[in-house]
């Protein structure tokens, strides 16, 4: 045993460590199982997975990447909230401050924007991949529907975030988008009014989009993500290529 | 043990995790690092190094800190971070041109930079801490730095009336009025002397269809290779711009205009006896020319004169040039006009002279026979009498081409909002402008320049006519246009605006009638309103003696013989001269000068001798002023001062000339009261008999 | 008492007294009853480590790009100054491109609505769970139906002059039809295509059209939504 491992071992015996992690070192399959199902976050994952599903080509980690992008977005988003006022024209001033004054502010915003665009790409990619693997077929019907819900949530999250910088790009992109809503027969105008908090895009719309973007939509997304992960495990793991491949006739 | 094997992470996997973790942590550290090396921090460090090389290091670094500097004025919504890099902006010792930018101090101006911020004048992005973002047009900021050449535009944002520090802006504002820009474009122009373009309701009496055709085609001067005017009657650049009209349009418009004879011409007939008497005399035109010159028509009107092979324009530019006027106008019209210009159109600028029929006949003969050019209309195509169809088409063109916006014709309404609204053109962003195919940099300044120099360069279907302006006039126009900005959204800014004072001077009563008739304000200033050709008369009542004024009005040509521009001979009646003189004495008084001085009696030969000595020896006034035949030419001639000026004015003037005429170059000497008395006494002895008025005195040349 | 009656199916309800094992085997749950799941691995550490590496690499890539690419920020929003063209976020540009061709009610409501509904209901149509190829039985009837649907779609796109949809649709249908008429040709790619089920063809068509429309909306549309070449 090297001295490094000794140190780790000694650390593990301290009362603080033991109060944090009830289990010992994960050296047996039992303790490894406990490491997963004894952890509130990891227990959404299965304890055991098929060897085949660990192959890169099984998933290309598309789902994981989508989720991790959500994590990056949450972290950067919370930090950005520290500098942001959902008001006109303070919102735009804050963008300028982020760029010119806040330490690493421009980096935070870049990362948030980039991850948001990437998440839209990956959520689509993930969906198409799952579709081609036949992942929507029984018994995973419900999880597919949850996935469609997450797709829509991702789009709305990205879209509501689009308005927040309150620049020309934001304003007119949202104008174009919300105009589409008003084409819905009968309900169109009321829906647009509800979304914007008025007949035009103004401070009310900004506030609504802000609340949707930072509270309501992420809350739904987190719930659906948890259900999505949980159901992957409960529905028999990820869909492997062999599962729904064309079977040769007997 | 295969069961446990399924839980063992391979060495490779663990190594990959270790490597990616290290890179992960390293990458997260880049952004703070990048922040540390931000360009603005480097400028701050460079300034600290620079300050250490200067003798007054301590003062230069008194407010130095490592963070971002900003000028923050909440009520003006100013957040300017320019001083983060431009560190030395308020350091007087860094004014020198050898100080490297961005550390140089701001040149001294009436305002203090820290009270206003930078962007309010210089534009650019005050919030930015990056070089490109702060100065240039970028995706996030379309109001780039204003080129220093046009910086006076920023003065004009608040100072809506002209101030002496902004000649380029003032010139531009004058041009916006003179060139009639405001008649097509909506804009705020301050009230100033303005000659409206002629009303054309009766143009048919005045000029022929051929002349109108020629004029519309090319109002501009075009010189041939010998320098002769080949395309129109004027050697001066006319105010009328060139419209892009084809032959058919020219025919239609000239047909329409040449048939405008709304009202009959003034019915005055020259006494037939005079006509009969003078008609046959061969020198009638020569006599007319003499009269023309004696009346000083050239003070306002220029005439091209050829001397020794050199053609030269002689005369003023208040009225139109007259070199070829005889080929333009009908004689009946000319006589009616000369007698009473305002009967042709009410706002005519030309004064109404007191003509004798004899003079009128001679001068009109002179104009109609000598001021002509037989080649003027040689290239105008033959035209038949106007047809109703041509007239109708011409009427439509008159409105459609924008003629109606400048020229009135009874019964025709000018279209509203004919040209684009320019009241906030200075705030236009690049994305609001259409550059078309123009190969010019995409900035507002370049757009304006291109548009003014050639309206079709940025828009091939532009309705705007072609002006031919000097480079500096284009710059002046751009400056004036840039000064017309949207109101900043900070209400505090509204309070800063120095509004244009309604300065029009419009006296009432008898004097008011004369003032309007003789258009005194075209040349003279009255309480800040009026032209600058002749002396300011605001304080004339305090300055000049009554008798002198009367004699001057009756016979102005005895004064200022060396100047081309002289007061025309209006042929005032005695009653008119006395009305004017009384008004000047009663109203045009300076508050600084006591109108009823009691010390005028305090004169004695001793005092005069003392004054003469002070004048000649102690203060050497003769280095600028002339008495008799000796002295300098910088100041006015004082030979006749004793009959011209009032002693109280002279005393007040000697005490503080700038208090009476701000900006005069007369030096303010700290005379004692006794010296002033002595000098006044001496100066009041300077009198000329009318016969010796050869050298004359430069009336009011004190400006 | 009623409850008891309901459970009286001939077996006692007490499992300890009457242990029984009941298995229902139906066609639709066949996947669940496959016995062998193959070799397995413990999630901790094998899956967790891999996921952690993915997270780290993803973050590294994102951070590096974020350091050198700046998120766009234009001027302050100005309701009076409409950019030409005003574009939606890129993922809605396909939709905006549709609006250019079809009446708003069709492009803005009907088509996206149908797509979402279709995505939701796919799993509940138990059509072709096995993933049988489109032309599995070489049935003429199927070819007929396929042709009718394609022709109707083409007419629809043609009427609205939506050539950017018309052409990919025509090409896709052409390829799918060709695989019917040319069995056993085209090498490995031909074999691959012939093995694709109908759902594959529809999805691939949808993705291709969506990508083309989004790309056109992003890069090929200028003032007044007119066609521009991005390299000009």
Residues 6+ apart with CB under 8 A from B306: B312
Cα separation, C111 vs C93, in Å, equals 14
DSSP state of C108: I
Residues B614, B578, single domain; the answer is no
In a domain, C84, yes or no: no
Reported ipTM: 0.91
pLDDT at C54 over 70: yes
Q: Sorting pLDDT into bands at 50, 70 and 90, what band is A79? A: very high
Please report the pLDDT score of residue B698 as a whole number: 39
Stretch C44-62: mean pLDDT: 93
Taking the CA of residue B408 as centre, how many other CA atoms within 13 Å lie in the half-sphere pointing to its CB?
11
In a domain, B615, yes or no: yes
Q: How many beta-carbon pairs under 8 angstroms link A with B?
A: 38
Range C183-189, long-range pairs (CB < 8 A, 24+ positions): C183/C138
3-state helix, strand, coil in chain B (%, to 5): 45, 5, 50
- Measured in angstroms, the CA of B437 and the nearest CA of chain A are apart by 25
* ∠ Cα B354 B355 B357 (to 5°): 150
For the segment A7-20, what is each residue's pLDDT rounded down to a tens digit? 988 888 888 888 88
Does any CB of chain B come closer than 8 Å to the CB of residue C61?
no
Residues B121, B52, single domain; the answer is yes
In a domain, B501, yes or no: no
B554: buried, middle or exposed (CB in 10 Å: 19+, 13-18, 0-12)? Answer: middle
Residues B112, B129, single domain; the answer is yes
For the segment B372-415, what is each residue's pLDDT rounded down to a tens digit? 877 777 778 888 888 999 999 999 999 988 899 889 888 888 88
Please report the pLDDT score of residue A149 as a whole number: 96
Give the fold, CATH level 3, of A60-234.
Answer: Cytochrome Bc1 Complex; Chain C (1.20.810)
Q: Of B7, B24, B141, which is closest to C60 when you measure between CB atoms?
A: B24
In a domain, C152, yes or no: yes
Q: Residue B395 in contact with residue B409, Cβ under 8 Å?
A: no
Does any CB of chain B come closer than 8 Å to the CB of residue A96?
yes
Q: Sorting pLDDT into bands at 50, 70 and 90, what band is C26? A: low
- Measured in angstroms, the CA of C4 and the nearest CA of chain A are apart by 32
Task: Tell if the CB–CB gap between C50 and B30 is shorter than 8 Å.
Answer: no
Does any CB of chain B come closer than 8 Å to the CB of residue C159?
no
Q: Residue B300 in contact with residue B315, Cβ under 8 Å?
A: yes
Task: Tell if the CB–CB gap between A48 and C42 is shorter than 8 Å.
Answer: yes
Residues C118, C55, single domain; the answer is no
Extract the tokens encoding A180.
């589409």
Q: Residue B516 in contact with residue B620, Cβ under 8 Å?
A: no
Look at the alpha carbons of B257, B260, B266, B271 in this order and tell me if their dihedral is positive or negative. positive
Cα–Cα separations (whole angstroms), residue B248 to B244, B390, B427, B667: 12, 9, 40, 64
Cα separation, B589 vs B595, in Å, equals 8
Q: Sorting pLDDT into bands at 50, 70 and 90, what band is A183? A: confident
Which partners does chain C have (≥3 C-beta pairs < 8 Å)? A, B
B288: buried, middle or exposed (CB in 10 Å: 19+, 13-18, 0-12)? Answer: buried
**What's the total number of domains in chain B?**
6
Nearest to C112 by CA among A117, A146, A131, A177: A177
Residues 6+ apart with CB under 8 A from A164: A84, A86, A91, A170, A206, A209, A210, A213
Q: How many beta-carbon pairs under 8 angstroms link A with C?
A: 209
**Would you call B589 helix, strand, or coil by DSSP?**
coil
Residues C195, C160, single domain; the answer is yes
Nearest to B303 by CA among B241, B363, B370, B354: B370
Q: Name the CA radius of gyration of chain B, rounded.
A: 34
- Which residues of chain B have a CB within 8 Å of the CB of C60? 20, 23-24, 27
Please report the pLDDT score of residue B597 as a whole number: 62
Residues B339, B281, single domain; the answer is yes
Residues C138, C171, single domain; the answer is yes
Which partners does chain A have (≥3 C-beta pairs < 8 Å)? B, C
Cα separation, A181 vs C109, in Å, equals 8
Q: Sorting pLDDT into bands at 50, 70 and 90, what band is A204? A: very high
Residues B120, B250, single domain; the answer is no
For the segment A136-180, what is each residue's pLDDT rounded down to a tens digit? 888 889 999 999 999 999 999 999 999 999 999 999 999 988 888
Q: Of B31, B129, B133, which is closest to A101 when you measure between CB atoms?
A: B129
DSSP state of B243: P
pLDDT at C223 over 50: yes
In a domain, B394, yes or no: no
Extract the tokens encoding B36.
């540390």
Q: Residue B119 in contact with residue B80, Cβ under 8 Å?
A: yes
Residues C211, C139, single domain; the answer is yes
Task: Tell if the CB–CB gap between C129 and A138 is shorter than 8 Å.
Answer: yes
Does any CB of chain A come closer than 8 Å to the CB of residue C151?
no
Residues C123, C53, single domain; the answer is no
Q: Which of A100, A104, A165, A172 to mutate to test the interface with B (most CBs of B within 10 A)?
A: A100
pLDDT averaged over every residue in chain A: 89
Residues B357, B484, single domain; the answer is no
Does any CB of chain A come closer than 8 Å to the CB of residue B129?
yes
Q: Name the residue range of residue B125's domain.
A: 39-145
Residues 6+ apart with CB under 8 A from C152: none
Cα separation, B399 vs B418, in Å, equals 10
In a domain, C169, yes or no: yes
Alpha-helical runs (H) found in B497-543: 509-518, 540-543
Q: Residue B189 in contact with residue B477, Cβ under 8 Å?
A: no
**Would you call B633 helix, strand, or coil by DSSP?**
coil
Residues B239, B347, single domain; the answer is yes
In a domain, C35, yes or no: no
Q: Residue C83 in contact with residue A162, Cβ under 8 Å?
A: no
Q: Which of B14, B133, B140, B434 to mutate to test the interface with C (most CBs of C within 10 A)?
A: B140
**What's the total number of domains in chain C?**
2
Please report the pLDDT score of residue B198 as a whole number: 85
Residues C154, C195, single domain; the answer is yes
Please report the pLDDT score of residue C11 as a whole number: 54
Residues B441, B457, single domain; the answer is yes
Please report the pLDDT score of residue B323 as a whole number: 80
Please report the pLDDT score of residue A120 as a whole number: 97
Residues C136, C165, single domain; the answer is yes
Residues C65, C95, single domain; the answer is no
Residues B9, B75, single domain; the answer is no
Phi/psi at B34 (5° precision): -60, -40
For C42, the closest chain A residue by CA position comes to: A48
pLDDT at C33 over 80: no
For C43, the closest chain B residue by CA position comes to: B7
Stretch C169-197: mean pLDDT: 85
Residues C103, C218, single domain; the answer is yes
- Which residues of chain C have a CB within 8 Å of the CB of A23? none
Phi/psi at C105 (5° precision): -65, -30
Residues C58, C107, single domain; the answer is no
DSSP state of C219: H
For B:25-84, CB contacts with A below 8 A are 31-32, 34-35, 68, 81
For A95, the closest chain C residue by CA position comes to: C73
Residues B230, B317, single domain; the answer is yes
For B34, the closest chain A residue by CA position comes to: A104
In a domain, B416, yes or no: no
Stretch A113-124: mean pLDDT: 96
Please report the pLDDT score of residue C2 as a whole number: 47
Q: Name the residue range of residue C191's domain.
A: 90-225
B199 Rama class: left (phi>0) / alpha (psi -120 to 50) / beta: beta
Segments of chain B scoring below 70 in pLDDT: 1-4, 220-237, 266-268, 309-310, 488-491, 499-503, 557-565, 595-602, 689-703
Residues C178, C215, single domain; the answer is yes
Instruction: Please state, as a whole number, how many other Cβ atoms lie within 10 Å of the Cβ of residue B561.
Output: 11
For the segment C122-161, what is each residue's pLDDT rounded down to a tens digit? 888 866 777 788 887 777 888 899 999 999 999 999 999 9
Residues B28, B67, single domain; the answer is no
In a domain, C9, yes or no: no
The domain boundary, picked from B496, B527, B546, lies at B496
**Would you call C70 helix, strand, or coil by DSSP?**
coil
For the segment B461-508, what is each residue's pLDDT rounded down to a tens digit? 888 998 888 889 999 999 999 999 887 666 677 777 776 665 677 888
pLDDT at A65 over 90: yes
Residues C131, C212, single domain; the answer is yes
In a domain, B168, yes or no: yes
- Which residues of chain A have a CB within 8 Å of the CB of C28? 138
Residues B218, B340, single domain; the answer is yes
Range C21-30, long-range pairs (CB < 8 A, 24+ positions): C28/A138, C28/C126, C28/C129, C29/A138, C29/A139
pLDDT at C20 over 50: yes
């Amino acid at each position: 045993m090297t001295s490094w491992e000794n140190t780790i071992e000694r650390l593990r015996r301290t009362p603080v460590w033991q109060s944090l992690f009830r289990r010992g070192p994960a050296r047996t399959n039992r303790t490894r199982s406990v490491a997963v199902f004894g952890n509130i976050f990891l227990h959404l994952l299965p304890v055991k997975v098929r060897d085949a599903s660990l192959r890169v080509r099984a998933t290309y980690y598309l789902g994981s990447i989508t989720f991790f992008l959500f994590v990056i977005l949450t972290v950067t988003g919370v930090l950005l909230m520290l500098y942001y006022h959902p008001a006109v024209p303070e919102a735009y001033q804050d963008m300028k401050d982020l760029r010119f004054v806040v330490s690493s502010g421009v980096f935070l915003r870049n990362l948030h924007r980039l991850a948001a665009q990437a998440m839209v790409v990956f959520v689509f990619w993930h969906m198409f991949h799952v579709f081609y693997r036949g992942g929507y077929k029984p018994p995973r019907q419900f999880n597919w529907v949850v996935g469609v819900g997450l797709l829509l949530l991702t789009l709305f999250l990205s879209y509501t975030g689009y308005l927040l910088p309150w620049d020309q790009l934001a304003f007119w992109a949202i104008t174009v988008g919300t105009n589409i809503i008003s084409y819905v027969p009968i309900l169109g105008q009321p829906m647009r009014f509800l979304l914007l908090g008025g007949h035009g895009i103004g401070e009310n719309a900004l506030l609504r989009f802000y609340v949707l973007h930072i509270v309501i939509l992420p809350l739904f997304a987190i719930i659906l993500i948890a259900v999505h992960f949980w159901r992957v495990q409960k529905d028999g793991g990820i869909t492997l290529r062999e599962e729904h491949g064309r079977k040769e006739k007997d | 043990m295969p069961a446990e094997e399924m839980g063992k992470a391979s060495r490779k996997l663990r190594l990959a995790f270790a490597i990616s973790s290290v890179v992960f942590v390293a990458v997260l550290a880049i952004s703070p690092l990048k922040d540390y090396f931000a360009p603005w921090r480097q400028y701050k460090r460079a300034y600290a190094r620079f300050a250490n090389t200067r003798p007054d290091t301590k003062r230069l670094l008194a407010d130095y800190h490592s963070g971002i500097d900003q000028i923050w004025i909440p009520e003006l919504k100013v957040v300017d971070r320019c001083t983060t890099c431009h560190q030395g902006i308020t350091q007087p010792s860094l004014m020198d041109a050898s100080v490297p930018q961005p550390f140089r101090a701001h040149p001294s101006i009436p305002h203090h930079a820290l009270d206003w911020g930078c962007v309010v004048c210089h534009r650019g992005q005050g919030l930015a801490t990056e070089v490109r973002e702060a100065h240039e047009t970028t995706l996030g900021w379309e109001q780039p730095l204003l080129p220093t050449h046009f910086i006076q535009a920023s003065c004009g944002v608040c100072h809506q009336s002209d101030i002496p520090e902004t000649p380029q802006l003032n010139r531009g504002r004058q041009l916006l009025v003179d060139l009639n820009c405001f008649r097509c474009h909506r804009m705020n122009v301050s009230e100033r002397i303005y000659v409206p373009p002629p009303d054309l309701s009766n143009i048919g009496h005045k000029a022929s269809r051929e002349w109108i055709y020629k004029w519309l085609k090319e109002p501009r001067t075009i010189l041939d290779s010998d320098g002769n005017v080949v395309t129109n009657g004027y050697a001066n650049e006319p105010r009328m711009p060139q419209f892009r009209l084809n032959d058919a349009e020219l025919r239609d418009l000239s047909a329409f205009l040449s048939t405008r004879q709304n009202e009959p011409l003034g019915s005055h007939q020259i006494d037939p006896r005079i006509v009969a008497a003078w008609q046959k005399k061969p020198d009638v035109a020569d006599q007319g020319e003499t009269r023309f010159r004696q009346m000083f028509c050239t003070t306002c009107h220029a005439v091209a004169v050829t001397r020794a092979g050199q053609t030269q324009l002689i005369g003023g530019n208040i009225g139109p040039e007259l070199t070829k006027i005889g080929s333009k106008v009908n004689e009946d019209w000319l006589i009616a006009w000369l007698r009473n210009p305002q009967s042709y159109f009410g706002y005519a600028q030309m004064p109404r002279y007191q003509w004798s029929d004899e003079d009128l006949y001679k001068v009109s003969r002179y104009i109609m026979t000598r001021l002509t050019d037989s080649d003027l209309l040689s290239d105008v195509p033959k035209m038949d009498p106007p047809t109703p169809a041509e007239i109708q088409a011409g009427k439509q063109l008159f409105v459609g081409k924008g003629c109606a916006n400048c020229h009135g014709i009874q019964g025709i309404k000018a279209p509203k909002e004919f040209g684009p609204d320019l009241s906030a053109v200075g705030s236009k962003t690049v994305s609001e402008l259409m550059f078309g195919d123009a190969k010019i940099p995409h900035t507002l300044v370049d757009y304006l320049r291109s548009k003014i120099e050639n309206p079709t360069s940025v828009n091939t279907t532009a309705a705007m006519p072609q002006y031919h302006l000097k480079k500096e006039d284009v710059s002046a126009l751009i400056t004036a246009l840039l000064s017309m900005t949207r109101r900043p959204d900070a209400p505090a800014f509204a309070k800063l605006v120095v509004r244009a004072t309604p300065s029009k001077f419009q006296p009432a009563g008898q004097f008011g009638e004369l003032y309007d008739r003789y258009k005194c304000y075209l040349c003279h200033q009255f309480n800040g309103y009026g032209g600058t050709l002749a002396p300011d008369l605001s304080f004339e009542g305090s300055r000049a003696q009554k008798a002198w004024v009367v004699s001057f009005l009756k016979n102005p040509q005895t004064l200022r013989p060396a100047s081309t521009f002289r007061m025309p001979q209006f042929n005032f009646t005695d009653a008119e001269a006395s009305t004017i003189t009384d008004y000047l004495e009663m109203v045009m008084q300076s508050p600084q000068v006591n109108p009823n001085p009691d010390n005028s009696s305090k004169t004695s030969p001793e005092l005069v001798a003392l004054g003469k000595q002070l004048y000649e020896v102690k203060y050497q006034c003769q280095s600028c002023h002339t008495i008799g035949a000796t002295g300098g030419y910088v100041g006015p001639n004082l030979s006749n001062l004793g009959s011209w000026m009032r002693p109280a004015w002279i005393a007040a003037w000697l005490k503080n000339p700038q208090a009476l005429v701000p900006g005069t170059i007369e030096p303010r000497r700290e005379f004692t009261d006794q010296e002033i008395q002595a000098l006044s006494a001496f100066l009041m002895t300077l009198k000329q008999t009318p016969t010796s008025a050869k050298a004359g005195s430069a009336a009011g040349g004190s400006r | 008492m009623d409850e008891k009656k309901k459970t009286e199916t001939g077996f006692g309800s007490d499992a300890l007294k009457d242990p029984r094992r009941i298995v229902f085997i139906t066609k639709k749950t066949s996947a669940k009853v496959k016995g062998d799941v193959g070799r397995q691995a413990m999630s901790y550490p094998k899956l967790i480590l891999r996921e952690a590496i993915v997270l780290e690499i993803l973050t590294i890539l994102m951070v590096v790009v974020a350091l050198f690419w700046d998120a766009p920020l234009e001027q302050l929003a100005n309701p009076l100054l409409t950019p030409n063209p005003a574009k939606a976020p890129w993922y809605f540009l396909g939709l905006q491109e549709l609006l250019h061709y079809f009446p708003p009610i069709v492009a803005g409501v009907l088509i996206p609505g149908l797509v979402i509904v279709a995505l939701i209901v796919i799993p509940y149509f138990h059509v072709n769970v096995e993933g049988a190829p489109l032309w599995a039985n070489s049935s003429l009837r199927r070819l007929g139906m396929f042709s009718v649907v394609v022709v109707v779609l083409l007419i629809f796109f043609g009427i609205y002059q939506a050539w950017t949809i018309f052409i990919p649709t025509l090409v896709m249908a052409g390829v799918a039809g060709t695989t019917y008429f040319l069995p056993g040709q085209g090498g490995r790619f031909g074999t691959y295509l012939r093995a694709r089920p109908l759902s594959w063809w529809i999805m691939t068509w949808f993705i291709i059209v969506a990508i083309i429309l989004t790309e056109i909306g992003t890069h090929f549309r200028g003032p007044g939504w007119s066609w521009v070449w991005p390299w000009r």
